[in-house]
A = this chain, B = another copy of it.
């Protein structure tokens, strides 16, 4: 584009507008909108910032996107905007890779330690003023399978390895000697490697291939007493199968930050299961994350205006930023 033209930017946000947009407002006509106004905002827009990254409103308003060239989403997972209309278009899709990695890795290590050290029970006993000594587990040497080897999975693997755990990955490209994962096994071999793991961490992108990959068959081969951690997407899991595996075995526990329906409905049996830790899709959302998300967008916006290559360009067929691209970046 010619830099002297003022581009139109549509920003999908809920009640909370993105902070610190002044630099962008100086360079573009910015149309803030909620889901109801989205089609109007997209009509004539050159760029589109999906700040409300869990919104499902984009496909329904897509018909109005008559001159859109770039869509940026304020999340790592792009599944809410990965629909045929976008995939088949020339619109470039970028994501917010890197923002959440470290915080999610800390969260995963925290829930692993919460299980091993029985902290939830300590918290319950404290409320009853009960002094009840128990023995606790070591995490050192315990085996973790990280399913998903993108940047977040890598950050998790690095953190758990640093804390003394024995880590392997499951991903698209099997390989040995990875500095963070050690061995990476092929996704097609998942069921062979689940039985050896004390902890299984789901952090794969949600695609047609990964949807429902954690089902009764997968849970059925897991080690008795092992724990399942989901920081990817709720739809990676067949929730009724997870509940069955927690109730009847083999699972010893689950820490869940994401769910197939969010907020998790009040009637879900997961809320009251003793061996389940629930958090409301917040594992990556550290203090300052919203500002960081806008910084990542602003950096790409500057590149877009200058005609430079954008960062974090998503392969719209794969559904994520391929790691080959990352290595070049």
A-side residues, CB < 8 A to B, are 102-103, 106-107, 109-111, 113-114, 116-117, 119-120, 122-123, 125-127, 129, 131-140, 159, 162-164, 262-264, 266, 271-272, 276-283, 285-289
Contact = CB atoms under 8 A, between A and B. Distances in A.
Given A116-B110, A123-B120, A280 B132 contact: yes
B279 A122 contact: yes
Nearest to A286: B138
A107 B103 contact: no
A131 B163 contact: no
B116 A106 contact: yes
22 contacts: A106-B113, A107-B113, A109-B109, A110-B114, A110-B116, A110-B119, A114-B119, A122-B277, A122-B278, A125-B280, A126-B277, A129-B266, A129-B272, A131-B262, A131-B263, A131-B280, A133-B282, A135-B285, A135-B288, A136-B285, A137-B286, A162-B163
Given A114-B119, A119-B277, 14 more contacts: A102-B138, A106-B113, A106-B138, A106-B139, A106-B163, A109-B163, A111-B119, A119-B119, A123-B277, A126-B278, A129-B271, A134-B282, A134-B285, A136-B287
Given A114-B119, A119-B119, A122-B279, A264 B106 contact: no
Contacts of A102: 138, 140, 164
Contacts of A132: 280
Contacts of A103: 136, 138
Contacts of A135: 282, 285-289
A109 B120 contact: no
Contacts of A278: 122, 126
A127 B139 CA distance: 27
Given A110-B119, A123-B120, A278-B122, A163 B164 contact: no
A240 B88 CA distance: 68
A136 B289 CA distance: 10
Nearest to A290: B135
A245 B119 CA distance: 24
A162 to B, nearest CB: 4
A294 to B, nearest CB: 15
A75 to B, nearest CB: 14
A287 B137 contact: yes
